[in-house]
Structure 1
Amino acid sequence: MSDTEADTTTRQQIADALRADPATASDLSTTVGVSVSSVYRHLQHVAQSVHGNGEQFLVAPPECRNCGFSAFDDPVNYPSRCPECRSEGIEEAVFKIE
């Protein structure tokens, strides 16, 4: 199996999981069996392909557990710390396809 086929399979599994239930990147990592960082790379592509199919890729953005900040620049990426209070306690974004 080539890398392209493996990527397509992983992306399809991620998309199918998000069509069934909302999930975080950690949830998807466990479901699909790839690293969390790999899930985030795949999510960028899934979001683009879903948009072309007339579906919506929805994101509940990450949120700081300390101050509640949720206006992160890129919600399809895991921030390491809060830009407001510098806390590292960040709730993961939740993704869904409708």
Structure 2
Amino acid sequence: MARREKIIELLLERDYSVSELARILGLRGKGSKKAIIEDLKVIAKIAKREGMILLIKPAQCRKCGFTFKPEINIPSRCPRCKSEWIEEPRFKLERR
């Protein structure tokens, strides 16, 4: 099974962060999160075409509570307090 197919299967079950997906799929190293983010961007397009929707729980600063825009990205720093203690966004697929 291709990596994107596996991600789709997982996201239909429950929500996951990028780090959790990378760990489950056995991806390690510097580019592993970047690869998952690129896969999620493609999956969002596939989902739309297949009558599904990619739900995004936005990233949030663990220090001040700032909530980021819901997007397929992992912010590195909070714009409000400059903390790098960021809760990653979570993703889930739902059928319409």
User: Normalising to structure 2: TM-score of the pair?
Assistant: 0.86
**Alignment counterpart, residue 34 of structure 2, candidates 32, 37, 40:** 37
1:18-65 CA-to-partner distances (Å, cap 9, x unmatched) read: 001111101100112231221111110001110111111100000001
Q: State the number of aligned residues.
A: 90
Q: Which of 66, 69, 72 is 2:66 aligned to?
A: 69
**4+ long deviations beyond 4 Å:** none
Can you give the 5+ residue segments of structure 2 that lack an aligned partner in the other structure?
none
Take 2:40 and 2:64, find their aligned partners in 1: how far apart are those partners?
27
If each structure's helix is expressed as a fraction of its own residues, which one has the higher value? 1
In 2, Cα distance between equivalents of 1:64 and 1:95? 17
1:84 and 2:77 aligned: no
Aligned with 1:23 (options 3, 6, 16): 16
- Which secondary structure state, in structure 2, belongs to the residue aligned with residue 97 of structure 1? strand
Secondary structure of the residue aligned to 1:79 is coil
d(CA) in 2 for partners of 1:60, 1:32: 21
User: Shift of the alpha carbon at 1:66?
Assistant: 1.1
TM-score by length of 1: 0.85
CA deviation string 1:71-98 (max 9, x = no partner): 33x6210110011111100001110001
**Structure 1 unmatched ranges of 5 or more:** 1-7
CA RMSD of aligned residues (A): 1.4
